[in-house]
Amino acid sequence: MITIYSTSPIFFWDFDVLDRVCCLTEERLLDLVKENKNAIWFVSPHGDSVFRRMFIEGHFDDNGYIIEGFYWTELCGERVDYRLIEDGNFIMNRKNEEGR
């Protein structure tokens, strides 16, 4: 199962570890899954992309934040199971901002 860890360069220690999924095609995303079906992808929030449409859309709460959980999608007709996780620092910062 792929784990998608949503984080931000602000809260993450190494920019080079962030996966550049925002510009990949469905075929290339499937290639990444096949390379390591148990990989952890560290991704930054970004606008419209194939990745966002296939893995993230539909998994937001009423405030537009990720709902962590286990999901599946189809890439090029193949099922891909994955888990969404949001960086705890991201969550705490958001709660602090909302409390102001």
pLDDT digits (tens, 9 = 90+) for 14-36: 556 676 788 899 999 999 999 99
Q: What is the DSSP letter of 91?
A: H
Higher pLDDT, 81 or 8: 81
Q: Please name the residues in contact with 5: beta carbons below 8 A apart, sequence gap of 6 or more.
A: 40, 41, 42, 43, 85, 86, 87
Confidence check: pLDDT of 93 > 90: no
Is 0.85 topped by the overall pTM?
no
Whole-angstrom CA distances from 44 to 36, 77, 93 are 20, 26, 15
Q: Break the chain into its structural domains and give their ranges.
A: 2-98
pLDDT for res 69: 97
Q: Quickly list H helices, the chain.
A: 26-35, 50-51, 88-98
Q: What is the DSSP letter of 54?
A: I
